Amino acid sequence: MNQFFTVDVLTVTIASGIALATPFLLAALGETIGQRSGVINLGVDGIMLLAAFATYYTALKTGNLLLAVLAGAATGTVMGVVTALVSVTLKAEQGISGIGVYLFGLGFSALLFQKLVGTPLPIATLPPVGIPLLEGIPVIGGMFFRQSLLVYLAFLLVPVVSFVLNRTTYGLKIRAVGENPAAADSLGVSVARIRWSTLIIGSTFSGLAGASLLMYGGIFQVNLTQAEGFIAVALVYFGAWRPVGVMGGALLYGLVGVVILTWKSLGIIPLNASDLAATAPAVITVLALLFLARRFRQPAALGRPYEREG
Amino acid sequence: MHRHPDRKLALILPAVLVALVAASCGGSSTPAPASTAPSPSAAAAPSTAPSPSAAAAPSTAPSPSPAATTIKVALVAPSAVNDLAFTQSMVEALNSLKGKYNLEIAVSDNQFVVATAANVIQTYATQGFNLIIAHGSQYGSTIQQLAPKFPNVSFAWGTAGSTYDLPNVFAYQVNSNEGGYVQGAMAAMLSKSKVLGVIGPIAVGDAKLYVDGFCAGAKSVASSISCIPVYTGSFSDVSLMSAAATTFVANKADVLTGTAQAVVGAIGVAKTNNLPWFGTQWTQVSLAQSNVVSSQVYDWSPIVGEILTDIQGGKLGGTTFTATLANGGAKIDFNPGFNLPAEVKAKADSLIKGITDGSVKVPQ
Amino acid sequence: MSDREADRLMGVTVADRRADLGRFLLSWFAIPSALVVALLLGAVMMLVLGANPVTGYVALLNGAFGGSYALSSTAIQAVPLLLVGVGICIAFRANVFNIGGEGQIAMGGLAGAATALALPDLPSFVLIPLVLLAGAGGGAIWGAIPGIFKAKYNVNEILSTIMLNLVAVQVMNFLLAGPMVDQSPDSVGGLIPETKLLSPNSQLPILVPGTQLHLGVPIAVLVAVCVYVLLWRTSFGFQIRSVGLSRSASAYAGMPVKRTITMAMTLSGAMCGIAGAILVFGSISHRMVTDGSLTGFTGSAGFNGIVVALFGGLNPLWTIFSAFFFGGLIVGGSALQVATGVPSDLVTALSGIVVVLVVSLEYLRRRARARTITLAGPRAARPPRPPHTNAPSTADARGDE
């Protein structure tokens, strides 16, 4: 155990925990925005898969990583339009249509990968970028300030989303639409327009999540996400629809995962307990929620398509 | 009030459906005709198969009576034909033997759902295939049940060493610990920190055999070296494999190896940190040209060749084959792009020679 | 309390019931048109990938429904979809969203296999019901946990069921590579993560020789019918549905809301658990084997069952057909892959498109209907209420605190 509490090991454990948490954080933040406006999007995992493939393919063909990340984000945006059309304009049952989007993303990304690429070829990944000055701080610098740009972006988005939701008119409208769409409607807020916008922004975040996942491993394969999109949705509930809470959930999940791996590599966890130890991120997330026993309630209109009376 | 027509209908229809299925099943107790099932013509690389009839059509064969000598082979495999690993090693072997044995090859890849794979194997068995290769140890128990029902079909499965005492089952396995041993010894010599990073999916089968051999080889060179394997718990989670590799790098590991389809994630970490990487199952040079030291490559063609010769001679099973460094079923494929120190190469060569002639014993 | 009285109490109007019927009927318009659109899109994709769509679809249909052998394969594939779908019907009717089917199936399989390993010498007519019950028990426990968490601690079931799937896969790998592993030479002394060959007395008998049709198929259909009866012909079923419609109103009417939610999740898990047991005891290999993933055992039935239940209008009886249809798609997908070289993932993508189209078209049809009914009378114009995946209102979300 002493080997674990060395500066080097702790630094890298925390740094890679943060990197591992980034796709979850981006996707969960996007889902938070959508859910605050009253729309559940269960298609996140499918969107992430499509975006990860778009990122991969662009990087493979052009070698331009910025373009690749943008392609991932744009894929998210396009899927956001589809999701909004289905969930808002066509007022479809959201849980089910989300599963549909997931299946489409799972199948279509696999199809494209096998027919367009086939053999797994690695791409260059986004290099870590040190933040001047902060990077030099002992210990802390190595943990937090030597990450890839997508990681910084994800964590910067936490206060941004929090600010927009709580301190701006747009955020007020989002919350109003999520809590009481009829009242918002009677005040002249277009429920449909707000929900369209949140879904497009949220799905773009999911696209970025797919891109960051791809950049973490540097390669695509069939079902790359391994249901990470669903875990991201779960983290929204963990975070009780608050961006900071969601960030806490993502970090907890990512860090526990990396700590377990580190302990395995140091021989702290014996080989025959390897499988059971791998359950730790899921178990601890649920237990933490029980322990915190928070009583935040969900947006009142969550999951309900809005239909004007009369 | 309660009796809506749709409900009555809904109650009746299931009964009708069950009756229909039962009736149609009872109507013809023989297995489905060949036309209903996977056509055998999608050649070993399905992505290139142009049309379903081209490969199989007798008219395209040079010999006027090919039917007598054609061997129909079906391959069922858990991952993609071009996975740069386990499945690809068998596909390449079949392709290399295609001309010699006049093979007609059908491939069902990505059969990771065990129940579905069992169904596919059974379907092939009903279709006049001479040899069905179930390329995954998880398919063995299916073969054990199916083989007695299809005594005229030959089954081969691996990697494992049991024919279940059935006359129409071949088994094949690979002593992946041997190549692991050689590569482990090289890794120990290349390592300055004397910490090795070893990553696997779950501690079973071929993966465990390779990993154990690797650590044994490393310890044979430097007994105090740290060689603790991390099993991530998943064959396919690329992120987790990357994270495990990163963890090792943090723990001062300066040489890495791993096995599983998701290992590409770990190779990426080796590349980023410019650390030596040892591959297994298939050559992984294309994944990291300047980092792969060597790969243990499975060459199934000698074994599959023997199986096909047996089948031509009327022997449908009963033998277990083991691919080893000695019989060429496994080889160490050195990457010319990696600048391997001469003494390390010499050590590897002497170990390969020793394992081949039996003077070096690799622990199981 | 009769259904009618209860309906009045709950404010469920005749219009709602008609709308329910209408909703179902219109889905018969929606589903075929969605299918046509999806098939056309699939044809385009096949053309783009250089395959002949006619060859592909013929292979798909033949592989799924062409002949007794294909039909029996489809029926076998439909069994886990049906049982999960039926479980989803129960959960959704109670307005809880169970996406833990994958883990519940695995736990059911493990519990069944452990029972067969422990009591191999029991005669078939005792052992088969016993292992199926054990499977139901294993799934029920894995379903009850999120149910209790939701009822007692207000932990959202989407979160807990997703997390329990992640736990289940590792528990399965641990047990099958450790305590339950086959140590015999057949499995190379424990190197393959699988149980030993299970007692022949526990194997589900093949009903029609020469096909794969085993006892699991009629059992699954029977379970679906029983669940239909439970939901629509018993007071407990009524309780589930009314809690699903409105938790606050049900609490007001004196129903035990928390217990109902827990029971609905438990039953839902039990259905998935039976599916897991049938997957083990109806399998060709007659062992429980893992390839290290949940999908390798379940074939994603835990997810696909949700879609199957939707296509059955959340009615267990219609879910039977829906399961058979999707089972055929999966079986046909393999045939399509072999015939054209197009990966069977095409079928996954197409079923996603079908789902999205059906739920979208449903609204358009509903609106058209609502307009016609408005002409007939204002009272009937209430739009039908789709089954919601989440608590319907603020009061309901907190109703059980």
Q: What ipTM describes this predicted complex?
A: 0.90
**What's the gap in Å between the CA of A184 and the closest CA on chain C?**
16
Looking at the structure, tell me whether residues B96 and B171 fall in a common domain.
yes
Subunits with 3+ Cβ pairs within 8 Å of B are A, C
Q: What is the DSSP letter of B287?
A: G
Residues of A with Cβ-Cβ distance to C345 under 8 angstroms: 106-108, 110-111, 114, 222
Residues of A with Cβ-Cβ distance to B262 under 8 angstroms: 221
What does the alpha-carbon distance between residue C267 and residue C231 come to, in Å, rounded to a whole number? 12
Confidence of residue A157 (pLDDT cuts 50, 70, 90): very high
Q: Which residue has the tokens 């990938």?
A: C49
The pLDDT value given to residue C189: 63
B77 falls within a domain: yes
Per-domain residue ranges for chain C? 3-398
Cβ distance of A261 and B237 shorter than 8 Å: no
Amino acid letter, residue B361: K
Point out the least confidently predicted range of A57-66, A183-192, B36-45: B36-45
The pLDDT value given to residue B65: 40
**What's the gap in Å between the CA of B321 and the closest CA on chain A?**
29
Cβ distance of A275 and C174 shorter than 8 Å: yes
CATH number, residue A179: 1.10.3470
Confidence of residue B286 (pLDDT cuts 50, 70, 90): confident
Q: Which of C249 and C34 is assigned the larger pLDDT? A: C249
Q: Across chain B, what does the average pLDDT equal?
A: 81
Domain that holds residue B200: 176-297+330-357
Q: In degrees rounded to 5, what are phi and psi of residue B75?
A: -115, 125
The pLDDT value given to residue A251: 95
Q: Which residue in the set A279, A289, A297 is minimally distant from C155, CB to CB?
A: A289
Residues of B with Cβ-Cβ distance to C225 under 8 angstroms: 11, 14
Of the residues B211, B246, B261, B287, the best mutation for testing chain A's interface (the one with the most A CB atoms within 10 Å of its CB) is B246
Please give the average per-residue pLDDT across C173-182, as a whole number: 90
Residues of C with Cβ-Cβ distance to B11 under 8 angstroms: 225, 228, 317
Strand partners, B197: B228, B256
**What's the gap in Å between the CA of A102 and the closest CA on chain C?**
7
Using alpha carbons, select from C19, C35, C45 the residue that is nearest to residue C336. Answer: C45
Looking at the structure, tell me whether residues B351 and B204 fall in a common domain.
yes
Looking at the structure, tell me whether residues B209 and B133 fall in a common domain.
no
Confidence of residue B236 (pLDDT cuts 50, 70, 90): confident
Q: Across chain A, what does the average pLDDT equal?
A: 90
> Between chain A and chain B, how many beta carbons pairs sit less than 8 Å apart?
120
Per-residue pLDDT of B330-344, as tens digits, reads 999 999 989 899 999
What does the alpha-carbon distance between residue B100 and residue A71 come to, in Å, rounded to a whole number? 47
Residues in chain C: 401
The pLDDT value given to residue C28: 63
Per-residue pLDDT of C349-373, as tens digits, reads 998 998 888 888 777 766 666 655 5
The pLDDT value given to residue B8: 47
The pLDDT value given to residue B51: 34
Point out the least confidently predicted range of A265-279, B221-235, C11-25, C120-134: C11-25
**Single pTM value for the model:** 0.87
Q: Which residue has the tokens 């592909």?
A: C56
Looking at the structure, tell me whether residues B314 and B166 fall in a common domain.
yes
Q: Is the pLDDT of residue A89 over 60?
A: yes
The pLDDT value given to residue C398: 33
Cβ distance of C356 and A238 shorter than 8 Å: no
The first and second tokens of residue B85, run together, are 């690993």
Q: What is the CATH number of domain C3-398?
A: 1.10.3470
A230 falls within a domain: yes
B13 falls within a domain: no
Point out the least confidently predicted range of C237-241, C333-337, C385-389: C385-389
Number of domains in chain A: 1
B6 falls within a domain: no
Confidence of residue A151 (pLDDT cuts 50, 70, 90): very high
C291 at interface of B, judged by CB pairs closer than 8 A? yes
Domain that holds residue A228: 7-127+140-292
The pLDDT value given to residue B83: 80
Residues of B with Cβ-Cβ distance to C315 under 8 angstroms: 10
**What's the gap in Å between the CA of C90 and the closest CA on chain B?**
17
Looking at the structure, tell me whether residues B69 and B207 fall in a common domain.
no
Please give the average per-residue pLDDT across C188-196, as a whole number: 80
Looking at the structure, tell me whether residues B142 and B197 fall in a common domain.
no
**What's the gap in Å between the CA of A62 and the closest CA on chain C?**
22
Give the list of residues 6+ apart from residue B16 with CB closer than 8 angstroms, or none. Answer: none
For a pLDDT cut of 70, what percent of chain B falls above it?
81
CA atoms within 13 A on the CB side of C122: 16
Per-residue pLDDT of C16-45, as tens digits, reads 444 454 455 455 666 777 888 888 999 999
Give the list of residues 6+ apart from residue B288 with CB closer than 8 angstroms, or none. Answer: A122, B267, B268, B270, B271, B277
Please give the average per-residue pLDDT across C276-304, as a whole number: 92
Please give the average per-residue pLDDT across C85-106, as a whole number: 93
Confidence of residue B318 (pLDDT cuts 50, 70, 90): very high
The pLDDT value given to residue A285: 87
The pLDDT value given to residue C106: 97
Strand partners, B296: B280, B332
Cβ distance of C350 and A107 shorter than 8 Å: yes
- DSSP labels for chain A? -TTTTSHHHHHHHHHHHHHHHHHHHHHHHHHHHHHHTT---TTHHHHHHHHHHHHHHHHHHH--HHHHHHHHHHHHHHHHHHHHIIIIIS---HHHHHHHHHHHHHHHHHHHIIIII-S------PPPEEPTTGGGSTTHHHHHSEE-HHHHHHHHHHHHHHHHHHHSHHHHHHHHHHH-HHHHHHTT--HHHHHHHHHHHHHHHHHHHHHHHHHHHS---TTTTTTHHHHHHHHHHHTTT-HHHHHHHHHHHHHHHHHHHHHHHTTSS-GGGHHHHTTHHHHHHHHHHHHH---PPPPTTTT-------
The pLDDT value given to residue C307: 86
Point out the least confidently predicted range of A168-172, C4-8, C68-72, C144-148: C4-8
The pLDDT value given to residue C44: 92
Q: Which of C367 and B195 is assigned the larger pLDDT? A: B195
**What's the gap in Å between the CA of B330 and the closest CA on chain A?**
22
Whole-angstrom Cα Rg for chain B: 24
Q: Across chain C, what does the average pLDDT equal?
A: 83
CATH number, residue B182: 3.40.50.2300
What Å distances lie between residue C368 and C15, C183, C267, CA to CA? 16, 64, 37
Looking at the structure, tell me whether residues B145 and B280 fall in a common domain.
no
The pLDDT value given to residue A103: 93
Q: Which of C389 and A165 is assigned the larger pLDDT? A: A165
Q: Which residue in the set B247, B248, B268 is minimally distant from A217, CB to CB?
A: B268
Sheet holding B131-135, edge to edge: B103-108, B71-76, B131-135, B154-158, B169-174, B320-323
The pLDDT value given to residue C320: 95
A302 falls within a domain: no
The pLDDT value given to residue A309: 64
Per-residue pLDDT of A106-131, as tens digits, reads 999 999 998 888 777 888 888 888 88
Looking at the structure, tell me whether residues B335 and B201 fall in a common domain.
yes
Looking at the structure, tell me whether residues B268 and B305 fall in a common domain.
no
Cβ distance of B17 and C192 shorter than 8 Å: no
Please give the average per-residue pLDDT across B82-92, as a whole number: 87
Number of domains in chain B: 2
Please give the average per-residue pLDDT across C78-101, as a whole number: 94
The pLDDT value given to residue C380: 37
Residues of B with Cβ-Cβ distance to C209 under 8 angstroms: 29
> Between chain A and chain C, how many beta carbons pairs sit less than 8 Å apart?
180
What residues of A are in the B interface, CB distance below 8 Å? 3, 8-9, 11-13, 16, 20, 23, 114-115, 118-122, 125, 213, 216-219, 221-224, 226, 228, 257-258, 261-262, 264-267, 271, 274-275, 278
The pLDDT value given to residue C393: 34
Q: Cα B342 from chain centroid?
A: 33
Confidence of residue B172 (pLDDT cuts 50, 70, 90): very high
The pLDDT value given to residue C17: 44
> Between chain B and chain C, how many beta carbons pairs sit less than 8 Å apart?
230
What does the alpha-carbon distance between residue C164 and residue C154 come to, in Å, rounded to a whole number? 16
For a pLDDT cut of 90, what percent of chain B falls above it?
49
Cβ distance of A120 and B83 shorter than 8 Å: yes
C192 at interface of A, judged by CB pairs closer than 8 A? no
Please give the average per-residue pLDDT across C367-381, as a whole number: 52
Looking at the structure, tell me whether residues B85 and B193 fall in a common domain.
no
Point out the least confidently predicted range of B96-100, B145-149, B275-279, C340-344: C340-344
Q: Where are the alpha helices (DSSP H) in C94-246?
A: 101-118, 124-153, 157-177, 216-233, 235-245
Give the list of residues 6+ apart from residue B219 with CB closer than 8 angstroms, or none. Answer: B184, B188, B225, B227
The pLDDT value given to residue C23: 55
Confidence of residue B216 (pLDDT cuts 50, 70, 90): very high
What Å distances lie between residue C3 and B2, C246, C251, CA to CA? 8, 16, 17
What does the alpha-carbon distance between residue C285 and residue A300 come to, in Å, rounded to a whole number? 50
Cα nearest neighbour of C51 on chain A? A115
A80 falls within a domain: yes
Looking at the structure, tell me whether residues B243 and B318 fall in a common domain.
no
Looking at the structure, tell me whether residues B312 and B171 fall in a common domain.
yes
Please give the average per-residue pLDDT across B207-236, as a whole number: 91
Confidence of residue A293 (pLDDT cuts 50, 70, 90): low
Q: Is the pLDDT of residue B2 over 60?
A: no
Residues of A with Cβ-Cβ distance to B110 under 8 angstroms: 222
